Amino acid sequence: MSKALVAYFSASGVTAKLAENLADAIDSDLHEIKPAQPYTAADLDWTDKKSRSSVEMGDKSFRPEIANRVEQIERYDTIFVGFPIWWYVAPTIINTFLEQHDLSGKTIIPFATSGSSGMGNTNAELRPSCPGAVLEEGKRFNANTGKAELKQWADRFRP
C-alpha cells in the first residue's frame, strides 16, 4: 500500500501547525525537519543583511545541517514537504533534506506558508536536489487553512 509522509521545517511554528493539520487530514505520518542549530529570532531577522538567514539565503549552494532524518524513507512514495517562504523561495535547508534521502521514483509536493509571497521559483531551486523524483507544482497556504481544504488539495496527488 502506498503511504504518504508530511515532512516540514518551521522556524517559528506557523508551518508546523499547517503541517500537523495536513497530516491529520490525510492520516499520514509527520516528520519535523530539525536544524542541527535551531534558528534564533536574531537569525531570522531579514532586515539584517548579516543575520544567519540573510547570509545563508544569499548563497543558494549553502546547505544548513539537519539533526535528524526520515527513518525508512522507502516506506513512503508520496512526500509533502512544508516550509516557510524565505526570500521568495524555500529555505536551503529543504535542499539539504531532499539531498539527504534517496527520493528517486517518489512524488514530492511542496507546500508553504509566507507573509504573502507565492511559491515563486521554489521548484527551480529544489529540482536539482531530488533527481529521479516527480516534483509537483506546490502551493502556498494561509496559516489557518482548514483540514477539509487541505485534504481536498492533497488527495489530488494520492493514488
Ligand X SMILES: Cc1cc2nc3c(=O)[nH]c(=O)nc-3n(C[C@H](O)[C@H](O)[C@H](O)COP(=O)(O)O)c2cc1C
Q: Applying CB under 6 A, which residues contact ligand X?
A: 10-16, 44, 46, 53, 84-88, 113-117
| Distance (Å, whole) CA 127 – CA 99 | 10
Q: What is the nearest approach in angstroms of ligand X to the Cβ of residue 94?
A: 12
Closer to ligand X at the Cβ: 30 or 134? 30
Q: What is the nearest approach in angstroms of ligand X to the Cβ of residue 95?
A: 15
How many H-runs (helices) and E-runs (strands) does the chain carry? 5, 6
| Distance (Å, whole) CA 111 – CA 21 | 13
H/E stretch holding 20? helix 14-26
Q: What is the nearest approach in angstroms of ligand X to the Cβ of residue 116?
A: 4
C-beta neighbour count of 8 within 10 angstroms: 26
DSSP 115: S
The answer to whether the CB of 97 falls within 8 A of the CB of 7 is: yes
Q: What is the nearest approach in angstroms of ligand X to the Cβ of residue 157?
A: 21
Closer to ligand X at the Cβ: 13 or 131? 13
Closer to ligand X at the Cβ: 46 or 104? 46
Closer to ligand X at the Cβ: 10 or 78? 10
